[in-house]
Amino acid sequence: MSSCVRIRDLRFRWPGATDLLLDIPQLDIAAGERVMLRGPSGSGKSTLLSLLAGIYAPQQGSIELLQQNLASLSARQRDKLRAHDIGFVFQQFNLLPYLSALDNVLLGSQFSRQRRQRIADSGETLTGAAERLLTELGIVAAIQQQPAHTLSVGQQQRVAVARALLGKPALIIADEPTSALDAERRDEFLQLLFKECEQQQTALLFVTHDASLASHFSRHLELAEINNAHQNHTGESSNV
């Protein structure tokens, strides 16, 4: 199976910090794989995601996304790769409150010609693809037209997922997107997210504090187990 993410000998410290935050000899995510990454608060999960997205650069080591070494790309090329091939779903869904749910999803493809091209290649229109994703995620037509700020948290979360998925990026990075949901709605949401990722062969890197989610994933990583950097917090291991 082809590689989506390949990290080798990554070392990162924040400017001014004395200690390394991350020292990761190896991390691979294959195309279409579903990986959960867990670690305590402050252990460096969000930092790792920012490195993967090419927002920061490690002091040592290599990060490849779709066989492209981020360090060998210009800032502009990294921005493009991110826009084309990574969809983000954050804890705060970053929807524009007065735009409709549908327009929020369409925004996801505005900055990427490749995403628009992939939709065209699959024989759909941009709006048609956005409407289909929203419908599959349980956002019916009437709600698709409502401004995002009038939607429930669970609905906003699904809109954020549709926006991330539109145009078939290779990787979805999800950072604690289920923290506001109760267990039942969380499981239902995960099943929808998995189904959509599987349909379009999108890999998923899902960051959470919640060890009980591990059984849903094809692979479960503890940051402390892949990170050799000395950590001050306890980094208690998973109890699953």
Residue with Cβ nearer ligand ATP (139 or 205): 205
**Residue whose C-alpha is closest to residue 212's, from 6, 94, 36, 50:** 36
Q: How far is the CB of 12 from ligand ATP (least distance, A)?
A: 9
Does 68 sit near ligand ATP (CB under 6 A)? no
Q: How far is the CB of 177 from ligand ATP (least distance, A)?
A: 13
Burial of 95 per CB tally in 10 Å (0-12, 13-18, 19+):
buried
Helix (H, G, I), strand (E, B) or coil at 28: strand
With CB under 6 A, what is the number of residues at the site for ligand ATP?
A: 10
DSSP structure string for 147-192: BGGGS-HHHHHHHHHHHHHTT--SEEEEESTTTTS-HHHHHHHHHH
For residue 16, count other CB atoms closer than 10 A to its CB: 5
Stretch of residues binding ligand ATP (CB under 6 A), selected from 38-46, 92-100, 101-109, 132-140 = 38-46
Q: How far is the CB of 135 from ligand ATP (least distance, A)?
A: 32
Does 14 sit near ligand ATP (CB under 6 A)? yes
Radius of gyration of the chain (CA): 18
Q: How far is the CB of 83 from ligand ATP (least distance, A)?
A: 22
Residue of 47, 104, 178, 231 interacting with ligand ATP (CB under 6 A): 47
Q: How far is the CB of 94 from ligand ATP (least distance, A)?
A: 16
Does 18 sit near ligand ATP (CB under 6 A)? no
User: DSSP code of 34?
Assistant: E
Residue with Cβ nearer ligand ATP (42 or 138): 42
Tell me how far apart the alpha carbons of residues 24 and 105 are, in angstroms, rounded to a whole number: 34
Does 41 sit near ligand ATP (CB under 6 A)? yes
Burial of 66 per CB tally in 10 Å (0-12, 13-18, 19+):
middle
Residue of 21, 95, 129, 221 interacting with ligand ATP (CB under 6 A): 21
Burial of 51 per CB tally in 10 Å (0-12, 13-18, 19+):
buried
Does 46 sit near ligand ATP (CB under 6 A)? yes
Binding residues for ligand ATP, rule: CB under 6 A, are 14, 21, 39, 41-47
